[in-house]
Amino acid sequence: MQFHDSMISLVGNTPLVRLNSVTAGIQATVLAKVEYFNPGGSVKDRIALRMIEAAEESGALKPGGTIVEPTSGNTGVGLAIVAQQKGYKCIFVCPDKVSTDKINVLRAYGAEVVVCPTAVDPEHPDSYYNVSDRLVRETPGAWKPDQYSNPNNPLSHYHSTGPELWEQTEGRITHFVTGVGTGGTISGTGRYLKDASDGRVQVIGADPEGSVYSGGSGRPYLVEGVGEDFWPTAYDRTVADEIVAVSDKDSFQMTRRLAKEEGLLVGGSCGMAVVAALEVAARLGPDDVVVVLLPDSGRGYLSKIFNDEWMADYGFLEDSGPSARVGDVL
């Protein structure tokens, strides 16, 4: 009989799919690593599994324990699935700007969700950060993964995403492009590919305009899951060869093209990463193999990126100007 013991064994081993339409005029092969094939629908299942297993090994997470994390998105889903299968409880802390659909997904998996007001200072006792810290202190057997500082976030990619790409491309990958949020994906995957290729593979980060990684000050942008206004310790500053800043408009227009032209219904950070990948690929020749990682599905963004009114309100439907701006070489 062919079956998996549980959804946990389906984490990782996602497919590579060639982009055939948005790559018109480009000589290099551009391949997408489609992470929505993970059981929780995003790349974050990988880090959830490794962070939990490492905490079990170190004793930080004991049988029947409770996972407490400030997250509203993909990391929460990954943690909720792994926790449920392994018998842990989950409490997630979300700001009140998070959509009820996202909160309901976490609750559907059996997690408890505590919603905090957005309109208070980080120092306020009801802030997102303070509430999660208090829950960790007050809940017996609580453990906080903290994806921004947990070394098992990048390590999960060093041990899964990186080797998968090396094997899937038979070592022919020349460029790896990915969005940067916590920095876990680029740091772990990028480091593995550098090690496997003796430094030959070029690693390129894609970042929303305004975020610190591409030299911004933390100015707001609408692409979700990427960019920061601080430097997380999960991000290894020595891995990226280049960071490409991409506007919201270009990111969302490309996200819509991926659905219409490539059959890929993916999230906004995927469109952002593809804009950066095409910018890089346009400079390359027919022997180059560019892999771009697409972190999640477009299902979570139907009322935004895939909604004409929302796009028009922000002026994102008008013709695009010049696409990406290439940042400083790091």
Residues of this chain that bind ligand PMP (CB under 6 A)? 73-74, 179-185, 224-226, 267, 269, 295-296
89 included as an active-site residue? no
CB nearer ligand PMP, residue 26 or residue 48: 48
Please, what is the minimum distance in Å from the beta carbon of residue 141 to ligand PMP?
26
CB nearer ligand PMP, residue 277 or residue 284: 277
> What is the CB neighbour count within 10 angstroms for residue 299?
14
CB nearer ligand PMP, residue 158 or residue 284: 158
Please, what is the minimum distance in Å from the beta carbon of residue 46 to ligand PMP?
9
Backbone angles phi, psi at 79, to 5 degrees: -65, -40
Please, what is the minimum distance in Å from the beta carbon of residue 91 to ligand PMP?
19
CB nearer ligand PMP, residue 284 or residue 324: 324
The angle subtended at Cα 257 by Cα 174 and Cα 264, nearest 5°, is: 70
> What 3-state class would DSSP assign to 327?
strand
The radius of gyration of the chain from alpha carbons, rounded to an integer in Å, stands at 19
**Dist. CA 124–CA 95, nearest whole Å:** 13
Please, what is the minimum distance in Å from the beta carbon of residue 226 to ligand PMP?
5
CB nearer ligand PMP, residue 65 or residue 74: 74
**Active-site choice (33, 44, 102, 144):** 44
Residues β-bridged to residue 294: 34
Burial (Cβ within 10 Å: 0-12, 13-18, ≥19) of residue 317? middle
Please, what is the minimum distance in Å from the beta carbon of residue 68 to ligand PMP?
18
Cα distances (angstroms) measured from residue 124 to each of 66, 130, 137, 139, 301:
24, 7, 17, 20, 30
Contacting residues for 225 by C-beta, under 8 A, at least 6 apart:
73, 74, 179, 181, 267, 268, 269, 295, 296
Question: Catalytic positions, please?
Answer: 44
